[in-house]
Structure 1
Amino acid sequence: MIIIVTIVLGFFVYIAYRLSFLTAGGAIASWLVGLFVWVSFQIEGIVLLCLFFITSSLLSKFKKKKKMKLKTIEDESKGREAGQVFANGGVAFIASAGHLIVPHPFWIGLLVASLAEATADTWASEIGVLSRRKPFHLLRLRQVESGISGAVSIPGSIAALTGAFVMGVAGTEFLFDHWWPLSILFTTAGFFGNIVDTFLGGSVQVAYRCPICKIETETTIHCNHPTKQIKGYEWLTNNVVNFLSSLAAGVLGGVAVLWM
């Protein structure tokens, strides 16, 4: 069975790579995370993971040309890299490994809530940047350019709550036998993780300024020139913040399962 699973996953990540949803490194990382999730949580777990990946990938292509006009947005035209895959799916990988070693409902809660946060964050990012009004930075208390970490918009917040809800309900249906009170807790945990992501992104996450266009960005190269660090810690990149936020949501979801 494991051989069939390995081949099937390999086929799907290859298709994702060919469609430019993933880079080569991202495809390998996705295959590894998917394999662990499938072995640990069976078909229900992989369906949940695919729900996150497919919806997020499709949203990344939605009005892509308009998004790429925003100078603060990093170009992902070649697909998600390995670091981005582990940033959003790393906690799912940990939950799978933990459940294989010591099977326990806590790991299932960790999986569902972490994916609820990853979905909330991704949907918020992909939809929020399309807002007609500039987002409001929660720490600077003023409007800023779209795509700057720490800022929120009404469409982005609605998308975040919707994403957390969809994943929370799906996780409850697939892995907890329709125990609906947990779907509310998973939704709350996912949205909470998204808030953590917003505050970490706006405070301690590293950011740079382009010497050419003077825009704030998360990349070290902009307008074909090296950028200058203006805040945060160099090691605390967007990927690290995404991982920590999904971990916070996942732990909250795991505790909720124990509490229930």
Structure 2
Amino acid sequence: MFYTKLAIGGALAVSIAVVVYKMRWLTKAGAGLGGAFGAHVVLAGGAAWALPLAVFVASGSLFARLDGRAHGGADKPEEKTPPRTAAQVLANGGVAWVALVVLPYTDGMVAYMAFAGALATATADTWGTEIGTRWRGQAWSLATGRWVEAGASGAISGAGTGAGAVGASVIAALAASVGPLSWIMAGCIAASGVIGSLVDSGLGAFAQAQYADPGDTKLRDRPMSASDTPVRGVRLLTNSGVNALATLAGSALAVATTVWLL
């Protein structure tokens, strides 16, 4: 039985890794890391763990591949999101992977809630960012209290927040349908995901390093050169770091809920 699961998990993971790389959803390193994560999930967790992960990966990748035409239509599509790197894969899925690693050494329900809470947060953030940006509306900056371009770090919009809530709810519903969770716990997972995504926005607004050219008010997440210093935030805290901390917050909240309910 073990070797059968190993063979199935390995074949499935390799197949998925090849597909996502060929479709330029992930870089080669990102596809390899994602494939290893997927194989481990299938082998150690089974369908209850694998299905929510598959939905997160597939939906996030598909949204990122959209041509950027906004609600209401646009003549010129925006630039597509570049393939996600291994660092981005780890930032979004690392906490969930840790939950799977510690599964044999802890309460199974607690580990699963940690896993689902992290995935719900990552899904809420991904759906909120991808859909909110393509809606072509404005977003409200938490740092300045002003309306900014949708998709800016540390900004929230109605469309993005709503999409994030739907994404977190989808993961929660799957966790209740194929996993060991009750629907009350699923509701807690959805709430944890939404709150985790708001933590992401807050960190993006106040702690993430932001850069700007002299005389330019538009902020960006990456420096143009190694000598650039951030005009706001902590130099070492990148967008990937913010994603990792946010998924940790969503996961921890889900675990706290489990302890309280049980």
Give the alignment's TM-score, normalised by structure 1.
0.89
User: Structure 1: 5+ residue runs without aligned partners?
Assistant: 69-74
Contact 1:33 1:90 in 2 (8 A): no
Deviation at 1:130, TM superposition (A): 2.1
How is 1:149-168 mapped onto 2 (pairs within 5 angstroms)? 149-168=153-172
Q: Which residue number in structure 2 is paired with residue 84 of structure 1? A: 88
Go from structure 1 to structure 2 and tell me whether the alpha carbon gap of 1:141 and 1:97 turns closer, same or farther (over 3 Å shift): same
Q: Could you list the per-position Cα deviations for residues 229-252 of structure 1 after superposition, in whole angstroms to 9, with x for gaps in the alignment?
A: 211112111101101111111111
d(CA) in 1 for partners of 2:78, 2:260: 42
Q: Is the 8 Å Cα contact of residues 155 and 205 (structure 2) preserved in structure 1?
A: yes
1:126 aligns with 2:137: no
> Which ranges of structure 2 fall in alignment gaps of 5 or more residues?
69-75
Q: 1:29: how far off?
A: 1.1
Say whether the 8 Å CA contact 2:142–2:156 is kept in structure 1.
yes
1-structure distance, mates of 2:78, 2:252: 33
CA distance in 2, matches of 1:240, 1:124: 18
Cα deviation, 1:137-165, whole Å, max 9, x if unaligned, reads 12311111232211111110110111111
Compared CA separation, residues 254 and 39, structure 1 to 2 (3 A) = farther
Could you tell me which amino acid in structure 2 is paired with residue 127 of structure 1?
I
1:198 aligns with 2:201: yes
Per-residue deviation, residues 182-216 of structure 1 (Å, max 9, x unmatched):
11101100001011011000001011113596531
Q: Is the 2:52–2:175 Cα contact (8 Å) retained in structure 1?
A: yes
Structure 1 residue corresponding to 2:145, chosen from 141, 163, 168: 141
Superposition deviation, residue 227 in structure 1: 5.3
Which letter does structure 2 place at the counterpart of 1:239?
A: S
Match of 1:117 in 2: 121
Residue identity matched to 1:207: Q
**2:16 corresponds to which residue?**
12
Task: Name the CA shift for 1:76/1:103 in 2 (closer, same or farther; >3 Å).
Answer: same
**Residue 72 of structure 2: aligned partner:** none
- Contact 1:128/1:155, CA 8 A, preserved across alignment: yes
- Rounded to whole Å, the distance in 2 between the matches of 1:184 and 1:52 is 18
Distance in 2 (CA, whole Å) between partners of 1:66 and 1:238 is: 24
**Residue 71 (structure 1) aligns with:** none
Aligned counterparts of 1:67 and 1:98: Cα–Cα separation in 2 = 42
Q: Who is 2:73 aligned against?
A: none
Tell me which residue corresponds to 2:248.
247
Distance in 2 (CA, whole Å) between partners of 1:97 and 1:192 is 24
Instruction: State, as a whole percentage, how many aligned pairs show the same letter.
Output: 28
SS in 2 for 1:144: strand
